[in-house]
Amino acid sequence: MKQYSQMTATELQAEYNAVKQKYDELLGQGLKLDMSRGKPGPDQLDLSVGMLDTVTSSTDLKSRDGVDCRNYGGLDGLTELKELFADILEVPVGNVIVGGNASLNMMFDTISQAMTHGMGGEPWMKQGTVKFLCPVPGYDRHFGICEYFGIEMINVPYTDEGPDMDMVEELIKDEMVKGMWCVPKYSNPDGIVYSDRVVKRLAAMKPAADDFRIFWDNAYVIHPIFGECDKMLGIYDECVKAGCPDKVIMFTSTSKITFPGAGVAAMAASDANIERIKKRMNYQTIGPDKLNHLRHARFLPDIKAVREQMSKHAAKMRPKFEAVLTVLDRELGGLGIARWKKPNGGYFISMFSEKGCAKRIVGLCRDAGLILTSAGATYPYGIDPDDSNIRIAPSFPSPEELTQAAELLCVATRLATLELFTKR
Amino acid sequence: MKQYSQMTATELQAEYNAVKQKYDELLGQGLKLDMSRGKPGPDQLDLSVGMLDTVTSSTDLKSRDGVDCRNYGGLDGLTELKELFADILEVPVGNVIVGGNASLNMMFDTISQAMTHGMGGEPWMKQGTVKFLCPVPGYDRHFGICEYFGIEMINVPYTDEGPDMDMVEELIKDEMVKGMWCVPKYSNPDGIVYSDRVVKRLAAMKPAADDFRIFWDNAYVIHPIFGECDKMLGIYDECVKAGCPDKVIMFTSTSKITFPGAGVAAMAASDANIERIKKRMNYQTIGPDKLNHLRHARFLPDIKAVREQMSKHAAKMRPKFEAVLTVLDRELGGLGIARWKKPNGGYFISMFSEKGCAKRIVGLCRDAGLILTSAGATYPYGIDPDDSNIRIAPSFPSPEELTQAAELLCVATRLATLELFTKR
């Protein structure tokens, strides 16, 4: 088929009529589909139920160090889990804190601490309006934390190898720029893997603010879908080499390795950062749920076990991503009205429509029974300046549902674009 | 034996020599005892191991509402647990949030929120130096939270029926007094149960600050040791009657019902408070560990089951408390140098020595191999103005160890007092 931009007015009108009819047919089908949430499917959760049998009334309830995991004690997690996360995050064991069930909570708390107590300097709340760099499109919950604390967010566009570093290096000259969000591997939603060059530039850059921190949310650190997991340069090692180990704070969790909500989260940082954070934790918590740590340590005794688990997840995810990508290629390929990439890992497919169409597409889908992530959600303040990005989350529905959903999405994309083009 | 205050100098010297010899003998015994931490004994933890078998690979992993507890979803906990905590805290179900593994964390976060976002008014951090009323002796971790946030603490002495309410009613005229810590039942460490009269006065009082909150840490709400659990007036109902439902925020947990660290915490408050708190939680967390909620809901299906569980705990605790109390009565009774009460519940025995002796007693015990809670820990800033209170935690050691430990404590108390008296 011709690209829409090459069509005459008459051709566009004919195409509009045909697509409108298709859409109206879909409207009548009473579909109930959801591609909005990056949550694992039930078949993925089944991969971890064996973990629940590792800690029962008839198992040893002591950790490797002899700690009775049923009682109080320990602030930063079981040694065996610290070792595991040290391997995953490529940091020394002593620089790891293993916590509760959500890395989001750790990020929120770390920023909360910076606001009230600072990150080595004055409390951020006392310094004026703090700013954060936000590579876009990105993760709405990161932006939500900033919004909650009144932190001003500055969009930084992505290139194929990570955030636009020229822009980042310029923006960090402002000493009120105190932080930056990064999802460095299989970025949410674009699936971008930061290149070695980008990691090196992030590690080497010298922000005006001494208390600037990169919030390195490595949520998909070991989460491939197609082929081997991408290799990345270790940001912490690079920061150490560059003489600024304090600049980065890393986060990850087993939410998409074992159970979302019943997993284990971890963070890692320099000695100074960890000391600062543990000082707060001493007041805040009696320590993490060690029985859940024990379950994880027994189910995932080493990084090899995690990799095996993740290849099982990938096998469940592949047909789902393929279902969506196949439909996108077939229904939108060659029309020149949307672009997307096949991600190697992570949880999302990110589609960019013609400017000004994303909200309309999401609305058309909703009306016909398909829930998508709200247009704009992938940008600070919920505002996509181009109204173009749509986040597709193929993990939860079945491949059959995904095919239906993607077909509807394509019809909606064509219709919204034709509405725009025929109005011109 | 004569009261020490009735003894002549010669008698005191003779007593000193005799006690010093006893102490020196104990010094040589290489004891290793610990009465410092209010943590359950292993035999108490055994009471809950059956809970671990309620959630395994072969059990239904859905909540009563059909929620798959392995996946994301839900901010404030499983309905069945909200109902249970509503019964325990005597509040409507809709006013309960069930969270993670530590009520301490919920208290810290609530105060953190008040500091940065306020409690209906301006953020506390922007109002100047916030003050809290601290009934003393009290719980060191409450005081720690205040210290962390730079909240000024004001000691309020306890009477036998709760905090000195005349003093409280006077102090709340200061609009910078924004909060008050209460452990209303079996207070830590004195075991005091707030009388109906005190509860009514707390509910009826009108602080100058609209954003004043009582932090009602009902940690031992259902934790009797001797006899039936004491009945208390419901603070929330009283606040509602008094027209100020927002004044109190309640906390509790199963740390001493099931597993410390692997339990479930809950809070309850008015609609306005809960709405405010949930708004923050939306940014902070993906929700609690629902699989651990499910374990608890199945192991403790109703308040009757909790009461049965708590009577088993009481049976384990009684001989321990009796061991300590027997020795205190036998070795210190009649000497007029220390006072203590037999608590009906909770986790502690609180002993008051002669003024100026507590640190010395704790030091003498430590030198002879018995760890006690640091003298002063039960007061804000770690400063007991009388240097008199000693918190005894009999829950963890065996009755035999406790007898030994209490004997050493009594010798140390006599020795420290005699040192003081013979110097006069």
User: Mean pLDDT throughout B115-126?
Assistant: 97
Instruction: Please give the helix or strand (H or E) that residue A10 lies within, else none.
Output: helix A9-27
User: For residue A41, what pLDDT is reported?
Assistant: 96
Residue A53 inside a domain? The answer is: no
User: For residue B1, what pLDDT is reported?
Assistant: 78
What is the spatial order of strands in the sheet that B177-182 belongs to?
A: B96-98, B265-268, B248-253, B213-217, B177-182, B131-136, B152-159, B162-163
Q: Is the pLDDT of residue A75 over 90?
A: yes
Q: Is the pLDDT of residue B173 over 70?
A: yes
Residue B359 and residue B413: Cα distance in Å, rounded?
10
Q: Is the pLDDT of residue A387 over 90?
A: yes
On the 0-12 / 13-18 / 19+ scale of CB atoms within 10 A, A221 is: buried
In this prediction, residue B145 has a pLDDT band, given cuts at 50, 70 and 90, of very high
Residues B28 and B67 in one domain: no
Q: Is the pLDDT of residue A424 over 60?
A: no
- Domain end position, chosen among B260, B278, B301: B301
In this prediction, residue A93 has a pLDDT band, given cuts at 50, 70 and 90, of very high
Residue A141 inside a domain? The answer is: yes
Q: What is the pTM of this model?
A: 0.97
Interface test with chain B among A70, A126, A280, by most B beta carbons within 10 Å: A70
User: For residue B117, what pLDDT is reported?
Assistant: 98
User: Mean pLDDT throughout A296-323?
Assistant: 98
Residues B124 and B259 in one domain: yes
Quick one: DSSP state of residue A62? Answer: B
Residue B172 and residue B55: Cα distance in Å, rounded?
48
Residue B294 to chain A, least CA–CA distance (Å): 11
- Domain end position, chosen among A301, A321, A347: A301
Q: Which amino acid is at A250?
A: M
Residue A389 inside a domain? The answer is: yes
User: Mean pLDDT throughout B346-367?
Assistant: 98
Residue A342 inside a domain? The answer is: yes
| Structural domain span for residue A399 | 4-44+307-423
Q: Which amino acid is at A136?
A: V
Residue A283 to chain B, least CA–CA distance (Å): 6
User: For residue A123, what pLDDT is reported?
Assistant: 98
User: For residue A1, what pLDDT is reported?
Assistant: 78
- Flag if B260 and A70 touch (Cβ within 8 Å): yes
Q: What is the DSSP string of B313-375?
A: HHHHHHHHHHHHHHHHHHHHTTTSSEEE---SBSS-EEEEESTT-HHHHHHHHHHTTEEEPPT
Q: Report chain B's mean pLDDT, rounded to a whole number.
A: 97
Residues B263 and B348 in one domain: no
Residues B406 and B345 in one domain: yes
User: For residue A166, what pLDDT is reported?
Assistant: 98
Nearest CA in chain B to A112: B112
User: Mean pLDDT throughout B309-325?
Assistant: 98
Residue B136 inside a domain? The answer is: yes
Q: Is the pLDDT of residue B108 over 90?
A: yes
Residues A265 and A335 in one domain: no
Residues B117 and B248 in one domain: yes
Residues A359 and A275 in one domain: no
Interface test with chain B among A46, A54, A71, by most B beta carbons within 10 Å: A71
- Domain end position, chosen among B270, B301, B332: B301
Q: Is the pLDDT of residue A378 over 90?
A: yes
Q: Is the pLDDT of residue B315 over 90?
A: yes
Ranges of beta strands (E only) in B209-330 are: 213-217, 248-253, 265-268
> For chain A, how big is the Rg over CA atoms in Å?
23
Q: Is the pLDDT of residue A60 over 60?
A: yes
User: For residue A323, what pLDDT is reported?
Assistant: 98
User: Mean pLDDT throughout B223-237?
Assistant: 97
Percent of chain A with pLDDT over 70: 100
3-state helix/strand/coil string of A28-53: CCCCCEEECCCCCCHHHHHCCHHHHH
Residues B129 and B251 in one domain: yes
In this prediction, residue A207 has a pLDDT band, given cuts at 50, 70 and 90, of very high
Residue A263 inside a domain? The answer is: yes
- Counted domains in chain A: 2
Residues B218 and B323 in one domain: no
Beta-carbon contacts of B322 under 8 Å, excluding residues fewer than 6 positions away, are: B399
Q: Which amino acid is at A401?
A: E
Supply the CATH number for residue A286's domain.
Answer: 3.40.640.10
Q: What is the DSSP string of A216-246?
A: EE-TTTT-BSSSSPPP---HHHHHHHTT-GG
Residues B258 and B116 in one domain: yes
Supply the CATH number for residue A401's domain.
Answer: 3.90.1150.10
Give the largest Cα separation in chain A, rounded: 78
Task: Identify which of B45, B52, B283 has the shortest CB distance to residue A71.
Answer: B45
- List of chain A residues whose C-beta atoms are within 8 Å of the C-beta of residue B105: 284-286
Instruction: Please give the helix or strand (H or E) that residue B177 lies within, else none.
Output: strand B177-182
In this prediction, residue B424 has a pLDDT band, given cuts at 50, 70 and 90, of low
Q: Which two tokens stand for residue B312?
A: 């088993």
- List of chain A residues whose C-beta atoms are within 8 Å of the C-beta of residue B148: 117, 280, 283
Tokens 């004690």 label which residue?
A: A73
Measured from the Cβ of residue B137, the count of other Cβ atoms closer than 10 Å reads 25
Q: Is the pLDDT of residue A401 over 80?
A: yes
Closest residue by Cα to residue A89 from A184, A5, A187, A173: A184
Q: Is the pLDDT of residue B202 over 60?
A: yes
Residues B185 and B290 in one domain: yes
Residues B327 and B256 in one domain: no
User: For residue B423, what pLDDT is reported?
Assistant: 83
Residue A51 inside a domain? The answer is: no
Task: Identify which of A57, A74, A285 has the shortest CB distance to residue B50.
Answer: A57
Q: How do residues B9-39 score in pLDDT, each as one tens digit?
A: 999 999 999 999 999 999 999 999 999 999 9
Please state the ipTM of this predicted complex: 0.97
User: For residue B86, what pLDDT is reported?
Assistant: 98
User: For residue A8, what pLDDT is reported?
Assistant: 96
User: Mean pLDDT throughout A218-226?
Assistant: 98
Residue A399 inside a domain? The answer is: yes
